[in-house]
Structure 1
Amino acid sequence: MYGYVKVGSAVPKLRVADCVYNKEEILKLVEAAAAKQVRVLSFPELSVTGYTCADLFFQTPLLHAAEQAIQEIAEATEALNIFLLIGAPIAVDNQMFNCAVALYKGKLLGIVPKTHIPNYSEFYEERWFASADDLLTEEITYAGQNVPIGADLIFAAADFPALKIGVEICEDLWVPIPPSSYLSLYGATLLLNLSASNELASKPGYRRQLVSQQSARCLSAYVYTSAGTGESTQDAVFSGHSMIYENGTLFAETESFSRESQFVYADIDVEMLMSERRKHTTFMTHLQKAEAQKFYRQIFFDMAEDTTLDNWSRPLSNVPFTPTTKLDARCKNIFAIQTTGLARRMEHTHADSLVIGISGGLDSTLALLVCAKACDYLGIDRTHVIGVTMPGFGTTDRTYQNALTLMRCLGITMKEIPIRDAVIQHFKDIDHDISLHNVTYENAQARERTQILMDLANKYNGLVVGTGDLSELALGWATYNGDHMSMYGVNGGIPKTLVRVLVKWVATNGEVDAEASAALLDVLDTPVSPELLPPDENGKINQKTEDLVGPYELHDFFLYQIIRFGYHPAKILFLAEKAFAGEYDRATLLKWLKNFYRRFFIQQFKRSCLPDGPKVGALCLSPRSDWRMPTDAVSRIWMDEVEKL
């Protein structure tokens, strides 16, 4: 039970004013959706009669036929575990209302009239319909049942507390403050819009923007269902353009201008939406400051959360930090954030140079590229970057040569300072056996390198530029007061999977010459390693990070889901099994998930004293930004759940 609900948007074939035919088409779609385990399904505005009936709405036979159709739909769906929202014209209080009728297991839960009635351009709804604001009655008898009516209804699943459904109709969304804004503030996580939006040139794009933005502002899922091609084409054409969005992201969309009935569906994560609302502390401030408080009636129905998750349908990337669209623009933007941050810090401190250790590995390569771009941004020569290669016991010729090539091609100042002799002397000073390749052996090298960089920065009035990335910070894969420390960490907000994308982008987009490009591609092909243990007998890297702590693609996935949304370990595992199906088995995923939780908790002390650095993406682990965690927090709750899995 992970907080998912499968929601659908259905556009039936339609005949104007033929309620019998329309009812049959609606029921066909309900049956099809129920077979796919859809639990919430919405239909277009006035879908029982058709939106374009015009003055036929004054005809009593049409109103009676619509009511009869709703009653028969309720009876026919009594055995189905599906919440339905169907459009119908309803006469009450000496007026006519354009309504959405909510049904569940044969019961009419409530009727929501349209609030904002358009009467401009091609729309003349005020001729037929009154606004929900004009309604006098709070309950009516309709389709043989006593039913609450009003725009103040929120439908709440009694056994699924995160699922609360708010309803608005077409034009309601197009006004400055839509009813859905208030519905979301009062708890609705799923917003349904029954619409009849005719087609105009360029209107689909605007409609997408509208729904996307409203779902994002309301931190909600938004299902927009519009009338199809069966409507009258006397003065307008309708395409059936319907969409499902979650927090600004499009999950599903119908084919426009289809002649056949169709529906789309997606699994919405209402648990995630609730988490986002709790995190965004400004979400409720509008309600507190509103001039007039609104009040809503909660209508409960007995739907429970699905436990099977059959036919799970939801966009899911196994590289959540990396751009999937507009790669060029995204990479340029990320580099601009890094370079501007570094350049501004260099200006503010009146530094004359940027001092950086160059290992020939991924992280220092990206940081070096940022340093070079920062000099370009400031209009100073790249020789202000002092790149230092510091060969040690584990340095291989491959990484060493790549480091030299990149520094030379980028035109920076190059220095080489071997650390072997200094570290050997240090081992003698602390009485450490050089043949004992333990944590002392490794960390002494990292701290010696950091000391060299710090002292060079003092000598040349420079800033030591940190190279460690977000993934390493999450795992604590850094030597405390060694590579963990710098004067400005340009990679601190960038996970390893994104580091790869950025370096490859520079290598392939013409930013550097052919020699540098070849070196960058070779860096990408080199196993990730701190190179603190001696190479193997063939002179190749003998210490591969991902063999020790786990694949970075998995840890970045865990990091995103855990920190961004605060999910349970069980849900993290479920998502990982979906995202990495065919790549990692369950046992492997559990092994590295357990390792992630273990390291994340015990390594917080390193994150509590991070150097400054720019936030780049959706999250970071700086104690001054996204993540504040006590160093002595206990991981028992999370580890116990992983053990049970």
Structure 2
Amino acid sequence: MKQGFVKVAAVTPDIRVADVEFNKEQICRKMDEAAASGAKIIVFPELCVTGYTCSDLFTQDVLLDHAREVLTEIAAHTRDMDALVFVGAPLAVDGELYNVAAAMNHGKILGLTTKTFLPNYGEFYEMRQFREGPEKAREIEFDGEMVPFGPNILFTAKQMEHLIVAAEICEDVWSPVPPSIEAVREGATVIVNCSASDETIGKATYRESLIEGQSARLIAGYIYSNAGEGESTTDLVFGGHNLIAENGTILAESKRFENGIIYSEIDVNRLMSERRKNTTFKTAKERTLTRVPFDIEITETELTRVFPSRPFVPSENRERAKRCEEILTIQAMGLKKRLEHTHAKCAVVGISGGLDSTLALLVTAKAFDALGLDRKHIISVTMPCFGTTDRTYNNACKMSLSLGAELREVPIAAAVMQHFKDIGHDPEDHSVTYENSQARERTQVIMDIANANGGMVIGTGDMSELALGWATYNGDHMSMYGVNASVPKTLVRHLVQYYADTTDDKELQEVLYDVLDTPVSPELLPPKDGKIAQKTEDLVGPYELHDFFLYYFLRFGYTPSKIYRIAKYSFAGEYDDETIYKWLRTFCWRFFAQQFKRSCLPDGPKVGTVALSPRGDWRMPSDACVASWMRDLEQVAR
């Protein structure tokens, strides 16, 4: 419950058709199991008290009276249980029979949500026994208490402002306008569905896409509990296909044809953050739905859901290859448009032999191919200076020639030394001035070459560097089009790897593999024994950590303390808690302190859901203070 995580369960109990007493025992047993596992919302299938397939037995008082009696007993069983529980049952009201989901909490039935859409086609003939629920909820007497009865009853957690739960029943979600739409417009963040959906060929795939899509459309959590094996009778087979989804992502899915429980944690705070950002998500101006409070204890939720440690990089090889091809194409098409619009005669790329400039050069070559231009109009400029090693220099030269670009070498050491003399800087002082003078000299060189040749400078810096401000202001920070501006460092590596793996040019492939094997470095300090002396990740921290921090900070608005919590979980066995905490502090401090560099970024193509363009995804004051975020992180018990 803390930090917005709510553990939920979708349950398929063993049942016997029309054996109400047996079903009660199985429901209570599974309820105990789910509660013992920490589930705060527990959902059972449609009509599970009696069984969905009772058919005309639903007209028999023996079955209905026993079901009503047992419903009270199941509610009583929740007396000492810290959970909101939904159980499907038939209920006779005013001479009509309804299909309901009974919401229970701490021994009481809080509300009886009715099914709105009754299927009466194919194998379904619910209208033979049941009536559609009323248009609006009202109160009825149940076991001596007045209880809300009808559609879209909102169950609101007293102890957790944004935990608002609504129920719908099976066919409701298959309809053109599911009741959950109205419930969400009035604040529901979690939808439960008590279902009895039988199995036919291909139906499971459709069911999964339906629940996935509905949770995305509603920006909500969705818990779908389906009838299982014991329900199968006569012509129908039920598979117990349970699903837990959150905003378009399936968090947990059961194995079909096996009764049991699935669990996951719905992140209510994340849902609220997404809704606040989404201007097309419109809430109702007036509250018309019945709201019923329930009690639930705020506890630490043990996490079982997966938070990918490399969120920008698909883990599956085929999907990763598809993602890489798509991103390379987006980058190249963005640059293609800019080259066309400016009537540029050439493109100038400062090439260092590192990953970022390599990717920029590959993208430029792809853009030239798309334009039908000769790659010889790509001017690849290597600018060796104090920190350049033979390895990176040779790779830069070989790569440029393999791609058919014009290679130019402009040594800048003499110019930088003259600059040191002009400003009175001691060359033995290897401070930030020593480093940045080289970066700015390189930018001046390629800018002037572009001017002299009617071309434009292609930026090489990536999104991770921009997030940390790991760029020299008006040095490598500046270009005329930054093709890597929204590509994180962890993804840059995979894009170059993909290009290397798929190229037919064996010489280029060999060079790219060596680039991938080279430590990330700006090469601004003299090498030691001919090897790179300055390794970026030793100074600012591992990029795989920073990309993780960046993703969850920007994409979902997670607090630093929440990021720290999930990072410990995701990087268990890779980084210890102290290391994660150290670099998270660095990330927070640098992200705020370096915003002024992002406020004046050159144009560049957006490739993913996280981007830092000041004209698009991230608009932040350059002088914003980090104090509140640091305070949040410092409150974490280490």
Q: Could you tell which deviates more after superposition, 230-239 or 420-429?
A: 230-239
1:144 deviates by: 4.8
User: CA–CA distance in 2 between the matches of 1:294 and 1:239?
Assistant: 38
User: CA–CA distance in 2 between the matches of 1:465 and 1:232?
Assistant: 64
Residues 82-132 of structure 1, C-alpha deviations (whole Å, 9 max, x = no match):
211000000113211100000011111100000011111211111111111
User: CA–CA distance in 1 between the matches of 2:221 and 2:368?
Assistant: 45
Q: Which residue pairs with 1:266 in the alignment?
A: 264
In the alignment, which of 543, 555, 558 is matched to residue 567 of structure 1? Answer: 558
1:461 deviates by: 1.2
1:152 deviates by: 3.1
In the alignment, which of 593, 597, 617 is matched to residue 588 of structure 2? Answer: 597
Q: How does 1:543-622 map to 2 (within 5 A)?
A: 543-622=534-613
1:644 deviates by: 3.5
1:134 deviates by: 6.0
Q: Could you tell which deviates more after superposition, 610-619 or 406-415?
A: 406-415
Are 2:478 and 2:601, in contact at CA under 8 Å, matched by a contact in 1?
yes
User: CA–CA distance in 1 between the matches of 2:43 and 2:121?
Assistant: 26
1:54 deviates by: 0.7
1:203 deviates by: 0.9
- 1:229 has 2:229 as partner: yes
How high is the TM-score relative to the length of structure 2?
0.97
User: Secondary structure of the residue that 2:201 maps to in structure 1?
Assistant: coil
1:561 deviates by: 1.1
Q: How does 1:195-274 map to 2 (within 5 A)?
A: 195-258=195-258, 261-274=259-272
Q: Percent identity?
A: 55
User: Secondary structure of the residue that 1:2 maps to in structure 2?
Assistant: helix
- 1:424 has 2:417 as partner: yes
- Number of residue pairs matched by the alignment: 633
Moved over 6 A (4+): none
- 1:138 has 2:138 as partner: yes
Q: How does 1:36-435 map to 2 (within 5 A)?
A: 36-133=37-134, 138-258=138-258, 261-284=259-282, 287=284, 295-307=288-300, 309-310=301-302, 312-325=303-316, 326-435=319-428
1:133 deviates by: 2.8
Q: Which residue pairs with 2:629 in the alignment?
A: 638
Q: Which residue pairs with 1:6 in the alignment?
A: 7
Are 1:5 and 1:306, in contact at CA under 8 Å, matched by a contact in 2?
no
Are 1:354 and 1:465, in contact at CA under 8 Å, matched by a contact in 2?
yes
> What amino acid maps onto 1:530 in structure 2?
P
Q: Which residue pairs with 1:499 in the alignment?
A: 492
1:145 deviates by: 3.5
Are 1:13 and 1:228, in contact at CA under 8 Å, matched by a contact in 2?
yes
User: Secondary structure of the residue that 1:56 maps to in structure 2?
Assistant: helix
In the alignment, which of 520, 545, 555 is matched to residue 528 of structure 1? Answer: 520
Are 2:348 and 2:446, in contact at CA under 8 Å, matched by a contact in 1?
yes
User: CA–CA distance in 2 between the matches of 1:358 and 1:143?
Assistant: 78
1:329 deviates by: 1.4
Q: How does 1:406-485 map to 2 (within 5 A)?
A: 406-485=399-478
Are 1:160 and 1:304, in contact at CA under 8 Å, matched by a contact in 2?
no
* Alpha-carbon spacing, 1:302–1:347, altered in 2? closer, same or farther (3 Å): same
1:383 deviates by: 1.4
Residues 109-168 of structure 1, C-alpha deviations (whole Å, 9 max, x = no match):
100000011111211111111111367x71222245431111131001100112110110
Residues 570-621 of structure 1, C-alpha deviations (whole Å, 9 max, x = no match):
1111011111112222221111111111111111110000000011111111
> What amino acid maps onto 1:272 in structure 2?
R
User: CA–CA distance in 1 between the matches of 2:135 and 2:551?
Assistant: 48
User: Secondary structure of the residue that 1:237 maps to in structure 2?
Assistant: coil
Are 1:152 and 1:295, in contact at CA under 8 Å, matched by a contact in 2?
no
Residues 465-523 of structure 1, C-alpha deviations (whole Å, 9 max, x = no match):
00000000000000000000000000000110111111111112x22422212221211
How high is the TM-score relative to the length of structure 1?
0.96
> What amino acid maps onto 2:542 in structure 1?
P
User: CA–CA distance in 2 between the matches of 1:644 and 1:119?
Assistant: 57
User: Secondary structure of the residue that 1:303 maps to in structure 2?
Assistant: coil
User: Secondary structure of the residue that 2:206 maps to in structure 1?
Assistant: helix
Are 1:342 and 1:371, in contact at CA under 8 Å, matched by a contact in 2?
yes
Are 2:152 and 2:168, in contact at CA under 8 Å, matched by a contact in 1?
no
CA RMSD of aligned residues (A): 1.3
1:324 deviates by: 2.4
Are 1:181 and 1:218, in contact at CA under 8 Å, matched by a contact in 2?
yes
Residues 203-227 of structure 1, C-alpha deviations (whole Å, 9 max, x = no match):
1111111100000010011111111
User: CA–CA distance in 2 between the matches of 1:230 and 1:602?
Assistant: 61
Q: Could you tell which deviates more after superposition, 626-635 or 225-234?
A: 225-234
